[in-house]
Structure 1
Amino acid sequence: MDRRTFITASGVSLGTLAIGTVATATEATGRFLVDRSSLRDEDRVEIVHELAPVDLLVVRSSEAELEGQGAEFAPDVRIDPNAYRPARRDSADALAEGEDLTEYQWDKRDQGLPETHDVTRGEDTRVAIIDSGIAAGHPDLEGQVDLELSRSFADDDYGVGGPYGGTHGTHVAGIVGANDDGTGVVGSAPGTELVDLRVSGPRLESRDGGELPPTYWGDTYYGSVLAALVYAAEIGCDAANLSLGWTWRMRQEGWGRFWGQAHQRVGTYARRQGTLHTHASGNWGESLQFNRDETDSSETAGGITTSSTGPVGFDPDTGEYVEPPYAPSTYTTHGVGAIDLAAPGGQGGEYEQDNVLNAIAIPDFGEDGEYLGADYGHAWLAGTSMAAPQVAGAVALVKSVDERANANQVRTTLERTASVPDEYERKYYGRGYLDTLAAVEDAAGPGRP
C-alpha cells in the first residue's frame, strides 16, 4: 500500500499523552535532572539536554555519582501514558480527499473564527507544539511548519517533521495552525508559524491489544519536555502548547519538590521571554482543587491550564446542538483555582461529531524500526489535549494584532474577554470560556477592523 495515501481514520476519543500518571522516583531510567550550579564536575556525567538559561541539566549518570558530587538532583522520569479517558471510539463517516470539511468544525464556528480571520490569521507569530511530532507533509499542514527551527528532544534519531511518536501531535498542530486552502480543515491561526518540538518517540507495539494504531503512544521524558519549553522561549515562540501531563507526589523522598521547582523555574523563564505555555488539564474527571498530596504538571509555572468543553448532538447541516459547545466535557479535570480557561475539546460522548475534527497521520514502521511513512487523514478526537491548542491559537491571533503585548498582557486579554456560562459551575471554567473573536477585537482596540 502507498504509505502516503490520504485516508479517513476512525474517530477516537482520547486524552492527553499522559493522564493520571504518577511520576515514580523508583523508575530506573539512568537519566537525572540536575541543578547545574551544584554539580562540581560535568565531565563525569553525560549531558543529554542543556537548559542553560535556567541552570539545569538533563544527564545520564548514576545516583551514587551525583550524590558523591553533592549535586541537587531528581530522577528524570519516563512519563508513561498507561491510561486515557474517555475510552469511547467511534468510526468517522467517509470524508473524501479534497473536500472542504470546515462545516464539521463546530469548535471554529463557535469561536467566531470566520469573522476573526477577517481581522487576522495569526501572521508574524510562532507557536511551538511540544508533542509526538507533526506530519509536516499532511495536506492540511503543508507550508505551516518551520523545519529549520524544529527540534527533536526524544531519545531516538528519527528527527522532526513526521509523526514519529504517534498521531497526537499532528491533530494538536492542526487545531492551532492548519492551512486554509479550501480543502480539509482549518486551524485557529492559519497564518502562524508552527515549530515541531518532538518529545515523544515511537513505541512499536500497540498498548491495548490492537484497538489503537501501533505507536500511538510513545515514550516521553520529563526532562525532555522542560528542555523543549526552554528552547521554545529561546527562539521567540509566542505560545508553546503542552497537550500532555503528569503528576508527582510532592512528599516522595523530596524529589517531588525538586521537580516542581524545576518546572517553576522553566515556566517563569518562558513567560519572561514572552512565551505563554498552554497546558491541558487532564482527562480523569476529578477535581485538582483538593488533592494536597499530588501536584499536576498543569498547575505550575504560570501556564494557562485549560479544561475541556463540547456540544451534545451537533448537527453539521444545521449548526444546531442539543447542548451548547461550552458545556463541560464529562471527562475533564476541574477545580476552582486550578483551571484558568475552558475551551472546545469535544464531549467524548455518544456522537463522534461532538468531538474535535482535525488532521491525523498514522505512522508505519518496519520490523527493524525503520520509518516507512504515514497514512494521512482526519479524525474526531476528544480531550483536554484538543482544548489547550484552541487557546494556543488564540494567543497567536491576539499577539498578531497587538505585537507589543507581553505574555502577561496576552493572557489578561484572553481572561478578560472570557466568561462563565450562567448555567454551569465556575469550577469547570476558571476565568471563563474562551472567546477568541472577543479577545482579538479587544486586542485590536477601537477604530481597528
Structure 2
Amino acid sequence: MGALALGSTAVSAESTRRFIVDRQSLRSERDVEVVHELDEVGLLVVRATEDVLVGARYVPDRQYSPRLPHTGSRSSRVEYPPEGDDLYAYQWDKQDQQIPATHEVTRGEGTRVAIIDSGIGAGHPDLEHAVNADLSKNFTPDPHGAPGPFGGAHGTHVAGSVAANDQNGSGVIGSAPATELVDLRVFSETHSAGFSAWLGDVLAAIVYSANIGADAANLSLGWTFRFRDGWGEFWGEAMQRTTTYANRQGTVLTHACGNWGGTLQFDKDQRDSSETAGGLTVSATGPIGFKWGAEGTEKPAYTPAYYTNYGTNAVDIGAPGGNFAVDAPESSGNRYYDLVLNTVAEPEFSEDGEYQGATYGYDWYAGTSMAAPQVAGATALVKSVNPSYNANQLKSTLKRVASVPDEYNKKYYGSGYLDTYSAVVE
C-alpha cells in the first residue's frame, strides 16, 4: 500500500501545474495551492491539478523569455569605476530629452517607480541611493530575494535609465534620479542566459505596485497572447482587470511594445500585453551614426528603430530605445554607440546556486525594453511637479506635448515622440 500511495503522489505531482483562476467561479480552494492571492481583481494564481478547476474560469499560467533585438557582436562593457570623465557624453538619449535642463526644475522628488523586471543590482554605485529595500519583493519561485545583489543586467539597465545618480561625479545619469525605486523581480534564474517569468507573477507585481502607491510601474516585457484562440480570451480579461485596477489606483504602467518589427494593428487574434487599459505602450527610436558616422549622426534620435513593433492605435508614444545600422559593415566603427548606455550588474553564483558576488558596470543595450523606462522616468518627473495628478492626467500630459516627426508615419509613435522637458515645464 505504501508503494501504491507513493505512485499516486508522483502522478499527482506530475500533473500539477500553475493556473490563473477567477476566484468567484472556483467551487473550492481546498485542493489548490495559492501562489498569489489577488483579491483586488478577483483572481488567484494557483498550483493545482486541472480536474479540481472543473466549472471555474481559468487559464494555464505560462513562462515567458524576452527577446532582444540583434545588435551585432561586440565587446562594449565599461567596468565601474569608469576611467576619465563621466559617461554622459555617450548618453544621446538623455541629451535628446534635455534631462540636465529638466533637473533644474525637478529631479523626481517625492515619487516612486516600480521596476517589474529581472531585479535591480541595488549595490551599483549609481543606484544604491535609490532602491527601497523594504518595499522590494521577489515574486519568483527562486530563493534569491529582492532587491540585489541578485539583480540581473536587464533590470539594472532599466532601473538606471529611470534613476541613476546624477550627482556622484561619474558614471551615467537617469531621468529622475530623486525618485524612489522599488525592485519587483519577476524573472527567475537571473544568473543564467535563459531567464524567464511566469505571467501570473507579473499580474501579482502589477497589483502590488498599485497597492504601494507607485506613480509608475515599468514593464519591459513585450510578450503576446491570443484573445480569441483557446485560452487567450480569459488571459486577456485577467490582464485587463489588473491593469485597470492599477490605473484607478494612480499607477501609470509603461509597457515595452516588443522587438520583432511587426504590426500590432491588424492582427485581430493576437495582441501585445501592452494593449490593455491603464498604460502607455512605448515604441523605440534611436539615431544612426552617433559618434561613429563618417559625417556625424546620419539619422536623428527620433528615427524609428529597425526592430520596433508599431501600430497607430496600438502604440501610445515613441521614446529613445536605441537603434543599430544592421547593413553597415563591421569596419564602420562603434555602431553600438547608437544603443542606450546605462547601468548593468552581473551576479555570480556557484554550481550549487550560492551567490558569490556581483560585478557592476555599464553597457549599451537596445530594445523597446530601453524605451519604456524613458517614459516611466518622465512620468515621475511630471508627477513631481504636479503631485495631485492622477494616472490619466499624467498620461495625458505626456501624450499632449509629444508630436509625430514630419518625415515619419504616426504608426510608429501614436501620439508622438516623447518630450520630457516640455512635459515638465508646460
TM-score, normalised to structure 1, is 0.86
The separation in 2 between residues aligned to 1:161 and 1:35, in whole angstroms, is: 31
Q: Show the 5 A alignment for 1:3-402.
A: 30-67=17-54, 70-81=55-66, 83-92=67-76, 97-98=81-82, 99-162=85-148, 164=150, 166-180=152-166, 181-202=168-189, 215-253=192-230, 255-315=231-291, 321-349=297-325, 351-402=335-386
The separation in 2 between residues aligned to 1:178 and 1:84, in whole angstroms, is: 22
Equivalent residues of 1:165, 1:202 under 8 A apart: no
The separation in 2 between residues aligned to 1:429 and 1:36, in whole angstroms, is: 38
1:301 partner SS? coil
**For the structure 1 residues 96 and 65, does the alpha-carbon distance in structure 2 shift closer, same or farther, using more than 3 Å as the test?**
closer
Q: Show the 5 A alignment for 1:422-441.
A: 422-441=406-425
TM-score, normalised to structure 2, is 0.91
Displacement after TM superposition at 1:245 (Å): 2.4
The separation in 2 between residues aligned to 1:293 and 1:314, in whole angstroms, is: 39
Equivalent residues of 2:175, 2:378 under 8 A apart: yes
Amino acid corresponding to residue 99 of structure 2 in structure 1: L
Amino acid corresponding to residue 62 of structure 2 in structure 1: V
Q: Deviations over 1:4-38 (max 9, x none)?
A: xxxxxxxxxxxxxxxxxxxxxxx987100011111
**For the structure 1 residues 191 and 256, does the alpha-carbon distance in structure 2 shift closer, same or farther, using more than 3 Å as the test?**
same
Amino acid corresponding to residue 171 of structure 1 in structure 2: H
Bigger drift between 235-244 and 39-48 goes to 39-48
Amino acid corresponding to residue 309 of structure 1 in structure 2: T
Displacement after TM superposition at 1:95 (Å): 6.2
Amino acid corresponding to residue 148 of structure 1 in structure 2: D
Amino acid corresponding to residue 48 of structure 2 in structure 1: S
Equivalent residues of 2:261, 2:309 under 8 A apart: yes
Amino acid corresponding to residue 218 of structure 1 in structure 2: F
Q: Deviations over 1:289-312 (max 9, x none)?
A: 111121111111231000000011
Amino acid corresponding to residue 260 of structure 1 in structure 2: G
**For the structure 1 residues 145 and 382, does the alpha-carbon distance in structure 2 shift closer, same or farther, using more than 3 Å as the test?**
same
Among all aligned residue pairs of Structure 1 and Structure 2, give the percentage whose two residues are the same amino acid. Answer: 59
**For the structure 1 residues 229 and 94, does the alpha-carbon distance in structure 2 shift closer, same or farther, using more than 3 Å as the test?**
closer
The separation in 2 between residues aligned to 1:308 and 1:143, in whole angstroms, is: 28
Displacement after TM superposition at 1:237 (Å): 0.1
Displacement after TM superposition at 1:248 (Å): 1.5
Equivalent residues of 1:338, 1:430 under 8 A apart: yes
Q: Deviations over 1:357-377 (max 9, x none)?
A: 000011211111112121111
- Residue-pair matches, total: 402
The separation in 1 between residues aligned to 2:170 and 2:92, in whole angstroms, is: 16
Q: Deviations over 1:377-424 (max 9, x none)?
A: 100000000000000000000000000011000000000000000011
**For the structure 1 residues 29 and 120, does the alpha-carbon distance in structure 2 shift closer, same or farther, using more than 3 Å as the test?**
farther
The separation in 1 between residues aligned to 2:78 and 2:53, in whole angstroms, is: 56
**Structure 2 partner of 1:17:** none
2:307 partner SS? coil
Amino acid corresponding to residue 110 of structure 2 in structure 1: D
Amino acid corresponding to residue 225 of structure 1 in structure 2: V
The separation in 2 between residues aligned to 1:293 and 1:119, in whole angstroms, is: 45
Equivalent residues of 2:226, 2:236 under 8 A apart: no
Amino acid corresponding to residue 29 of structure 2 in structure 1: E
**Structure 1 partner of 2:332:** none
**Structure 2 partner of 1:7:** none
Equivalent residues of 1:165, 1:218 under 8 A apart: no
Displacement after TM superposition at 1:94 (Å): 5.2
**Structure 2 partner of 1:19:** none
The separation in 2 between residues aligned to 1:133 and 1:28, in whole angstroms, is: 30
